């Protein structure tokens, strides 16, 4: 009997800086991940989001679940900066989270600095 490959939701139980990004993925904590990422206080998660997908409130539900541990939310929107829709920005504001969209590269660099400063930062990185 042949075993099926089991694909699990990607999760790294902790916070780590991003070492490199590009070619559709990221390297962190001596691992690599293909696709987009959510960097949350509870860990690093694979995020089923691709460049060009709509930035909806629903896409950030996992972030909102940890809102009490997040002060700043960086949104790396891909190669180019995309503004956050008004309803998404309002939801972050409602929860007391400052949200900042920027290119993924800029978001990665900012995240690494804020993480090193032990700030209450989270990020959503769209893979480039």
Where residue 82 sits, what CATH number does that domain have?
A: 3.40.1230.10
Distance (Å, rounded) from C-alpha 67 to C-alpha 112? 20
| 2 part of a folded domain | no
- Residues (pLDDT < 50) of the chain are 5-8
This prediction's pTM: 0.90
Report the mean per-residue pLDDT for the chain.
93
pLDDT value of residue 14: 87
Residue pointed to by tokens 């790294």? 12
Give me the number of domains the chain comprises: 1
Q: Is 95 exposed, middle or buried (0-12, 13-18, 19+ CB in 10 A)?
A: middle
**Residue 100 placed within a domain:** yes
Burial of 93 (0-12, 13-18, 19+ CB in 10 A): exposed
Whether 3 maps to a domain, the answer reads no
6 within domain boundaries: no
- Burial (0-12, 13-18, 19+ Cβ within 10 Å), 87: exposed
Domain that holds residue 19: 11-125
* 52 within some domain: yes
């Amino acid at each position: 009997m042949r075993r099926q490959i089991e694909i699990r939701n990607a999760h790294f139980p902790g916070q780590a800086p991003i070492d490199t990004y590009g070619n559709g993925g990221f390297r962190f904590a001596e691992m690599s991940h293909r696709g987009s990422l959510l960097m949350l206080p509870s860990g690093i998660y694979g995020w089923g989001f691709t460049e060009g997908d709509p930035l909806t409130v629903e896409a950030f539900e996992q972030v909102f679940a940890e809102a009490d541990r997040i002060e700043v939310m960086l949104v790396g929107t891909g190669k180019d900066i995309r503004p956050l829709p008004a309803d998404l920005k309002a939801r972050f504001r409602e929860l007391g989270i400052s949200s900042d969209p920027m290119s993924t590269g800029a978001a990665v660099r900012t995240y690494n600095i804020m993480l090193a400063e032990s700030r209450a930062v989270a990020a959503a990185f769209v893979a480039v």
